[in-house]
Amino acid sequence: MDLFVTTLIAGFVQGTINALLGAGLVAVYRGTRIINFAHGAMAMMATYIFVTLVDHKAPQVIGFPLAAMVTAVLFAIVLGVAIDLMVMRPLARQSYLVRIIATLGVLYTLQSVALLLWGGATRSVKPLFPRGGHQVGQITVSNSDLGVAVFAFGIAIGLTLFYRYSRFGTAIRAVSNSREAATLVGIRVNWVTAASWAIGGATGGIAGILLAPSLALDSYILTLLVISGLAAALTGRLESLGLALAGGIGLGVTTSLVVTYVGEWTLDHPQTWINLSHLDYAVALAWILGLLLIWKKPATTQQQAGGLLL
Amino acid sequence: MSKSPFNGFAAEFAPRDAVDRGVRAVLIGLFLMVAITIPAHLSAQYLDLVTKGMAYSVGALSLVVLVGLVGQFSLAQAGFMGVGAFTAAHLVSGGNVPFVIALPLGGLAAVPVGMLAAIPALRVSGVYLAVVTLSFGEVLQKLFFDSEYNGGTLGHVALPRPGALQDGIHYFWFELFVLMALIAFVCMFRTRRTGRNLAAVRESEAAALSVGINTTRAKITAFGVSAFIAGIGGVLYSAGSGVASPDSFTPFDSIALLSVAVIGGLGSAAGAVAAGLFKTVTPVFIKDYIPFGSSAPELAGVAFGAGLVVQLLTAPLGVTSNLLVAERRLAGVVRFALRRQTAHPAASIEVIN
């Protein structure tokens, strides 16, 4: 029972990060109709810059490296806008496939730049939040878990509210529905796409920074965070922020449960043909496949054929 | 899915008459002559690079096949290569199977894995498929290639070459032969019934369905063929270095493969050959000719990523499309010369009259 509850809590904390990553992907998708494969890579760059600044003793506010965090997130915002201006906007008239491949090119470039600047060695990161924890009944919730969950979930919820209720959020939703109609009512579409990339960069950067202490500073792992983010975002069909948040948390809890209990099982039944310590990747894949199965078949084959015959 | 510029653009440059065919035959002959004679003049280090490049060309060919045949692209190609490589390695070093038999078996082992990856392609296309295959490749690498059976995360499985292929030059020729055989297979496949069905699915799934083509089977076939070629490429790559190791077949290798294939030209076999060369020549070029390049091998990665983006911005069809245009011009020149030769006597008669 104890194990079950701690597993749930760990899963929830991981889930809030997935939710934040998913929210960033949804933000970019709604503004630009692009699935940003470089999302994890942007997060990775921000995280590396954050850690470098902390290493060089950036000023802290009550033990929290606020200055470093703000700088890193600002960098991620600039990076997002730069990608929009330099890569995605010139490709706006190209086919969808070309633009998706371009985000993969950005991913590969950022990953290589990180290897160039900081090397390939994995290193650990100092915890963000003060040590210690709170006793709730028989369970201890660490400050770090609490901080990450509150921070990540707070930002994700804030983003959802911003999209729903603010004027700019409405403009973004208008562009998401129809670029032409949005242009006609006087919305500056270019500003909206740039802002979407900025929001994507900022949320990704924060997610990376929050996650780094519990994971590790490794450019491969951080870049591939895009997979769990995509699993979360796909839960809401890349459109719904609320479902993306729910999906992120669902994925986190499922992953945590599966990894913990399969881990218990493998203690007695060691497997040589499969490396079960990386089971989290398989859970994300299963999550994505499950979603694609549940969805109604997209309008590619049957409906088009029907239209043609009629 | 919107229509992609990559969809089999090589078809537009397919030879139309005897002159076109002749020019192409001469060019292929020239390429083969250079490819066969050049390894004897290379140092051991460069020979190693072109050997790896040739294996990479086979991997890129698998991607070209997938994009060219059904207009889908996959980010699991390195995973398929790994399945081939590890299967062959276990067969050769554990089962004492001869290398020449383990090579096609490695390719065949990748086929069911590729077909498995094709199942989502039946329901979704384009970007969702990219998401699934990226994740699929990651699972293959982290869960299966990294397993204890394969020696763990830092381990590897030996894949020794047979005595006749020990010599680097001989192995290079062997790779060249396999690559050419695969290209010939793809070209034949393309014009046969199954290949034409795939082309129909690529152009319009709805139209293909309406003339009774089984689109499900077509897509699964395309993934199977592509995985087979990728598996062979993986075996060739690992046999070149002597070991199959999990860090050769990461999702990043899939992305690198896609990058070089796009730079080379993601629609023609020539693009795939060029892609393999890019993959291996670029790092050496950077090391030898760019200041400080030797201290930073990661610059090659930056070059691939940035090169991919620049290529998409300037000419999405890749450098091969320029080559194909040049080939057509050459054919035009030849045609012009031929016409002058035949037209000359007639012209003189006209003058007399």
The per-residue pLDDT for B344 is 61
Average pLDDT over residues B294-299: 69
**Cβ contact A91–B127 (<8 Å):** no
Q: CA of B50 to nearest chain A CA: how many angstroms apart?
A: 23
The continuous run of DSSP H or E covering A135 comes out as strand A133-136
Q: Looking at CA atoms only, how far is residue A166 from chain B in angstroms?
A: 30
**Chain B, 66-105: which have a CB under 8 Å from a chain A CB?**
73, 75
Residues of B in contact with A223 (CB under 8 A): 252
A305, pLDDT greater than 70: no
> A187-201, B20-34, B229-243, B256-270: lowest mean pLDDT where?
B256-270
pLDDT at B2: 38
The least confident of A95-99, A208-212, A301-305 is A301-305
pLDDT, residue B241, reads: 87
The residue among A106, A275, A279 with the most chain B CBs within 10 A of its CB, best to mutate, is A275
**How close B246 comes to chain A (CA, Å)?**
12
Q: What is the mean pLDDT of residues B20-41?
A: 87
Size of interface A-B (CB pairs under 8 A): 180
- Helix and strand numbers, DSSP H then E, in chain B: 14, 2
Q: Between the CA of residue B120 and those of B72, B124, B220, B285, what are the distances in Å?
A: 12, 6, 10, 40
Measured at the alpha carbon of residue B147, what is the angle toward residues B276 and A292, in degrees to the nearest 5? Answer: 75
Q: Measure A53 CA to nearest chain B CA, in Å.
A: 23
Q: CA-to-CA distance for A274 and B146, rounded, in angstroms?
A: 8
DSSP designation for B291: T
CB contact under 8 A, B255 and A87: no
pLDDT digits (tens, 9 = 90+) for B103-150: 999 999 999 999 998 888 777 766 788 889 999 999 998 888 888 788
Identify the pLDDT of residue A304: 36
Cβ distance B131 to A111 less than 8 Å, yes or no, reads no
Residues in contact with B203: Cβ distance below 8 Å, sequence separation at least 6, in sequence order: B7
Is A110 in contact with B250 (Cβ distance < 8 A)? no
Give percent helix, percent strand, percent coil of chain A, each to the nearest 5. Answer: 75, 5, 25
Rounded to an integer, the average pLDDT of A179-199 is 90
CB contact under 8 A, B313 and A90: yes
Q: Do B255 and A104 touch (CB under 8 A)?
A: yes
Burial A247-264 (b: 16+ CB within 10 A, else e): bbbbbbbbbbbbbbebee
Write the pLDDT tens digit of every residue in A265-297: 888 887 777 877 788 889 999 999 988 888 765
ipTM of the complex: 0.87
pTM of the full structure: 0.87
Q: For B324-350, how does the pLDDT look when each residue is reduced to its tens digit (9 = 90+)? A: 888 888 888 888 888 887 766 555 555
| Residues A284 and A228 sit within 8 Å (Cβ to Cβ) | yes
> Which residues of chain A neighbour B295 with C-beta distances below 8 Å?
none
**What values do phi and psi take at B154, rounded to 5?**
-100, 5
CB contact under 8 A, B130 and A106: no
Q: A98, B144: Cβ pair inside 8 Å?
A: no
